[in-house]
A and B are shown apart, each in its own frame.
Chain A
Amino acid sequence: MQTEQLNGVVSKPAYSPVELNPKSSFHLFIAEQAVTGEMQSLFDGCGVDKESAVYSDASDSRLLESLAAMPLTGTLYLAGSEPFIWRVASHARQAGLRPDQIRMMVPVSRERHLFCCHCYQITEGVTYSPFICSGCGLSLEVTDHFARLHSAYFGYQANAEDSSDMPEKREVG
């Protein structure tokens, strides 16, 4: 499979510390489950129009409404798990936000969503590889190839070439 590499997979998101956008007239802070310390200090340091909200579901209708109401000069800050922030970012893009209006904090957990290329099921809470697919039950090699549309990493059967040759269990992060 197309997953062995020297320099890392460039589709794997890289995160850097988030700063307030000084040119923004409105700041919307969205967190999954709970506001993180990093987000709280950004929020506290923000003087102008601001709003914060916590959602457990990235597709919550109130969240989608607030994304649709974002002004052109607004900035969106996201905190939570990786699948959550990318799903909200995807909704934000659909609502017309530009990439430079969206700022993501380092994910709070290293748990991944894993896309099974054989049955297209997405398995949640993946922290090691190989990992059993919740759809078809195959042991999947967890790769670093990330699809923003699915907010998930690419997985394929780990021992398809030789059933007796199962890779050793390793943590992914």
Chain B
Amino acid sequence: MRVAPKEIQSFRDDFTYSNSAEAIERFPFPFAEDEYRYSVNMEPHLPKGGEGSAYEHFLDIDEHYLSEMAERELVLKEMPHRCLAMPHMDLACWDMVERIMVSLSEDYPDYFSLIRDGDHWSWENKLLNIKDQFTFGDSSSLPMPPLDYIGRQMQGDFALLDQREGDLFLDAGIITCPADWSLAFDAGMSFKEWHGPVPMAHGEGIFERALKYLIAIPVGKPVRRLNWTLTVNARMDTSPEKYHEWGHERTSVTPENVGEKVYLRVELQVLDRMPRSNAMMFSIRTYLLSLEDLVTNKEWAVRMHRAMKTLPEPLINYKGLTRFHGTVVDYLAQFDPVN
């Protein structure tokens, strides 16, 4: 069964966000082995897991759609610079508009419709009550810049990477739910530069191999990978911009509240070649699951415990888990029969 968008819940202040039983079941659990290690864990972005799976469609719309769109509005209202496109990325932005509108209208015809008559396009988003007609490629025919316009209708963050000189450059994006990185600071960086602070992987040649793989991706052959961290409270906007407001939550985790307060944050990252601009669309779809919901799946509980227990110190620090990692491991131990 597919999960339909439900009423708006919050990712801040009173944190009313919650997952239904169906949402827990379809959560993209990231740990394939007991021991956590780095790898270039990319695979073709093809349907997997059948109807209702988070991998059923190119873009995943789930029960949190309205909540995430409301959260994005709040972020952009306060900080419009969290959406940014360098002038040379205009064509890539339109590529992205097409890719998203076409796939949403094909995969979710009850929610979205697109009628194309040459360059005259009619778009309807029934979930957000949006109905617009515009001229494809003409940014003045939309009520706001194309990246901003389509980004406000999609769950997850989006970056557009310009490909030149055998490298990928972070030259556009709408980033309102990042796992602690700043688009404003990282804008214009090369692939290795924006991964600069990541520990351990540089020495292992991970980024050289990943970049080689990515720049060779052709149109129509998107790839995906999962990334993860832990977030205290169901906070979508864990941006550096707001770190001075949410950082203190990392000291609020106790043995009593760890199950409800700590969330496994998973990013389903998809890279897709854009046909006109040759840019890469990099979508970062974030899922949040509280540990107490996670451990309702016994297999996940055991694996989560072992992955957390074997997490190398540099990664614990890099991911910002230092202050509560031990509490998480202790909590998870009760679900692992080996202990």
* Interfacial residues, chain A to chain B (CB-CB below 8 A): 1-7, 9-12, 99, 115, 117-118, 120, 138, 143-150, 154, 156-157, 160-163
Which of B240, B314, B320: most chain A CB closer than 10 A?
A: B240
Which residues on the A side are within 8 Å of B185 (C-beta)?
A: 115, 117, 145, 147, 150, 154
The answer for the CA separation of A102 and B56 in the assembled complex, in Å, is 48
The answer for the CA separation of A99 and B202 in the assembled complex, in Å, is 22
* Interfacial residues, chain B to chain A (CB-CB below 8 A): 81, 165, 180-182, 184-189, 192-200, 202-203, 240-244, 247-248, 250-251, 314, 317-320, 323
The answer for the CA separation of A144 and B244 in the assembled complex, in Å, is 19
Q: Are A149 and B244 in contact, CB atoms less than 8 angstroms apart?
A: no
The distance from the CB of A135 to the nearest CB of chain B, in whole angstroms, is 13
Q: Are B189 and A148 in contact, CB atoms less than 8 angstroms apart?
A: yes
Known: A160-B247, A160-B248. A1 touches B192 (CB 8 A): no
Q: Are B186 and A160 in contact, CB atoms less than 8 angstroms apart?
A: no
Q: Are A3 and B200 in contact, CB atoms less than 8 angstroms apart?
A: no
Q: Are B323 and A161 in contact, CB atoms less than 8 angstroms apart?
A: yes
Which residues on the A side are within 8 Å of B248 (C-beta)?
A: 160-163
Of the A-B pairs whose beta carbons lie under 8 Å apart in the complex, a sample of 16, sorted by A's number, is: A1-B180, A2-B198, A2-B319, A4-B317, A5-B197, A5-B314, A6-B314, A9-B196, A10-B193, A117-B241, A117-B243, A118-B240, A118-B241, A157-B243, A157-B244, A161-B247
The answer for the CA separation of A161 and B248 in the assembled complex, in Å, is 4
Q: Are B318 and A5 in contact, CB atoms less than 8 angstroms apart?
A: yes
Q: Are A4 and B196 in contact, CB atoms less than 8 angstroms apart?
A: no
Closest A residue, CB atoms, query B312: A6
The answer for the CA separation of A147 and B185 in the assembled complex, in Å, is 7
Q: Are A162 and B180 in contact, CB atoms less than 8 angstroms apart?
A: no
The answer for the CA separation of A150 and B187 in the assembled complex, in Å, is 9
Which residues on the B side are within 8 Å of A10 (C-beta)?
A: 192-193, 195-196, 202
Which residues on the A side are within 8 Å of B195 (C-beta)?
A: 10
Known: A148-B188, A161-B250, A163-B248. A3 touches B243 (CB 8 A): no
Known: A148-B189, A149-B188. A1 touches B196 (CB 8 A): no
Which residues on the A side are within 8 Å of B317 (C-beta)?
A: 4
Q: Are B240 and A156 in contact, CB atoms less than 8 angstroms apart?
A: yes
Closest B residue, CB atoms, query A159: B247
Which residues on the B side are within 8 Å of A7 (C-beta)?
A: 199-200, 202-203
Which residues on the A side are within 8 Å of B250 (C-beta)?
A: 161
Which residues on the A side are within 8 Å of B199 (C-beta)?
A: 4-7
Q: Are B202 and A145 in contact, CB atoms less than 8 angstroms apart?
A: no
Which residues on the B side are within 8 Å of A150 (C-beta)?
A: 185
Which residues on the A side are within 8 Å of B184 (C-beta)?
A: 117, 120
Which of B188, B196, B320, B323: most chain A CB closer than 10 A?
A: B196
Other A-B contacts than A6-B200, A12-B196, 15 sampled, CB-CB below 8 A, are A1-B243, A2-B320, A4-B199, A7-B202, A10-B192, A10-B196, A145-B197, A147-B186, A149-B189, A154-B240, A156-B240, A157-B243, A157-B244, A160-B244, A161-B247
Closest B residue, CB atoms, query A136: B244
The answer for the CA separation of A150 and B184 in the assembled complex, in Å, is 10
Q: Are A154 and B200 in contact, CB atoms less than 8 angstroms apart?
A: no
The answer for the CA separation of A5 and B185 in the assembled complex, in Å, is 19
Closest B residue, CB atoms, query A8: B202
The distance from the CB of A122 to the nearest CB of chain B, in whole angstroms, is 11
The answer for the CA separation of A1 and B203 in the assembled complex, in Å, is 21
The answer for the CA separation of A2 and B194 in the assembled complex, in Å, is 11
Which of A5, A150, A156, A161: most chain B CB closer than 10 A?
A: A161
Q: Are A2 and B318 in contact, CB atoms less than 8 angstroms apart?
A: yes
The answer for the CA separation of A12 and B195 in the assembled complex, in Å, is 11
The distance from the CB of A86 to the nearest CB of chain B, in whole angstroms, is 12
Which residues on the A side are within 8 Å of B81 (C-beta)?
A: 120
Which of B247, B320, B323: most chain A CB closer than 10 A?
A: B247
Which residues on the B side are within 8 Å of A161 (C-beta)?
A: 247-248, 250-251, 323
The distance from the CB of B72 to the nearest CB of chain A, in whole angstroms, is 19
The distance from the CB of A142 to the nearest CB of chain B, in whole angstroms, is 13
Q: Are B241 and A2 in contact, CB atoms less than 8 angstroms apart?
A: no
